[in-house]
Amino acid sequence: MKQLSDRINNLPVSQTLAMSAKARELKEQGKDIISLSIGEPDFNTPEFIKKAAIQAIEDNYNSYTPVDGYKDLKQAISRKFKRDNNLNYDLDQIVVSTGAKQSIANIAMVLLNPGDEILLPAPYWVSYSAIAILAEAKFIEIPTSIRSDFKITPKQLEDSITPKTKMIFFNSPNNPSGSVYSEQEYRELAKVLEKHPNIYILSDEIYEHINYGVTHFSFASIESMYERTITVNGVAKAFAMTGWRIGYIGGPAWIAKACNKMQGQITSGANCIAQKATIAALDAPVSEINYMVEEFEKRRDLVIKLLGNIEGLVLNIPKGAFYIFPDVSFYFGKTIKGRIINNSSDLSMLLLEEANVATVSGDAFGANDCIRISYAASKEVLTEAISRISKVLKS
């Protein structure tokens, strides 16, 4: 009898990955699909990083790596935290993982007990809630809307805290909304958390460098938060290295030690070649990746202009990442191409099947009124995609 565990049966499928797999499958069947579903840079990994990887192969890096990462990589991460984030992390406070997703899963697994509550300001990245489910914790959404630029207020935070609250996840720049918390906004939220010393903070900063004219601020750099914040980052988004799978954390040494133990039983250390390439990425001046960020900004402006012409879409202005998260609720209750649109999932499916454009529905991110469009694609592709979306929505 094929009997899977309750654990896997209760786990939702990752909607970002499912949508991109579906788009790939339809393309393979010969359909002219434009995929704006998954969030990954469409650039090549920069040459200097590729060279470092080739050098590592030539130098015969092929053995198991230390579970928590090569020492020289951890030193580079420590320098990066100091240089970019004003954060001091010693080597025993750093753990390298197979992607930021694994870093987040490690933290959830080592900190959460069944029944603990974890606060997720919504919209949030699809895997946060799924990881909470795996950890048998209860996730509590703190809803926001486009009117508050998808950011929570100190009062909302205070009202959401219960004696069971163990963690909160912050993510700025945010996937899927592109919103960025200012230093002032983070400091006000920190004031609330100061009154609740048992709550840990996970600050996912994977989109740190992809921001448009705003200063990135790390939550852990607030002095009172340092001892209970774990900063998560990686090279996937900023350096166009999604497939290399390198993420890392900086945080309290006792939490890093526990993540090391967890990883030691599940995956061991991250890939040797990718770790060596990551040293080159992190040691390079941030200006090396400006050309990608500048291009993303131009695409953001284009997407805002084109989507702005479509009736009923309400847009925010994303300050970072490469997603836009329009409110599409104007279309709920309407019939388009013979289909009744009841929610974001119906709308996303309509766009896939009638416009041949793959997006991700907002319900996967805890925000049913919206859909996520990734603009990590060329301007020509984006223009064509939005023209198709417009035609279908007009009908």
Tokens describing residue 184: 């002032």
Does 39 engage in binding with ligand GLU (CB under 6 A)?
Answer: yes
Question: What residues contact residue 262 under an 8 Å CB cut-off, 6+ apart?
Answer: 106, 109, 110
Question: Which neighbouring-strand residues pair with 233?
Answer: 248
User: Shortest approach of ligand GLU to residue 16 CB, angstroms?
Assistant: 4
Residues 99-118 that bind ligand GLU (CB under 6 A): 101
Q: How many residues bind ligand GLU (CB under 6 A)?
A: 10
Which span sits near ligand GLU by CB under 6 A: 28-36, 84-92, 123-131, 337-345? 123-131
Does 16 engage in binding with ligand GLU (CB under 6 A)?
Answer: yes
Nearer to ligand GLU, 97 or 175 (CB): 175
Sheet holding 360-361: strands in order across? 323-324, 371-374, 360-361
What DSSP letter does each residue of 194-216 carry, written as one string? HT-TT-EEEEE-TTTT-BSSS--
Does 321 engage in binding with ligand GLU (CB under 6 A)?
Answer: no
Q: Are 178 and 326 in contact (CB under 8 A)?
A: no
Does 173 engage in binding with ligand GLU (CB under 6 A)?
Answer: no
Nearer to ligand GLU, 35 or 165 (CB): 35
Which span sits near ligand GLU by CB under 6 A: 120-128, 129-137, 280-288, 295-303? 120-128
- The H or E element containing residue 70 is none
Find the binder of ligand GLU among 23, 38, 132, 357 (CB under 6 A): 38
Does 67 engage in binding with ligand GLU (CB under 6 A)?
Answer: no
Find the binder of ligand GLU among 175, 211, 348, 359 (CB under 6 A): 175
User: Shortest approach of ligand GLU to residue 365 CB, angstroms?
Assistant: 9
Classify burial at 109, counting beta carbons within 10 Å of its beta carbon; exposed 0-12, middle 13-18, buried 19 or more. middle
Question: What residues contact residue 295 under an 8 Å CB cut-off, 6+ apart?
Answer: 43
Q: Phi/psi at 185 (nearest 5 deg)?
A: -65, -40
What residues make contact with ligand GLU under the rule CB under 6 A?
Answer: 14, 16-17, 38-39, 101, 125-127, 175
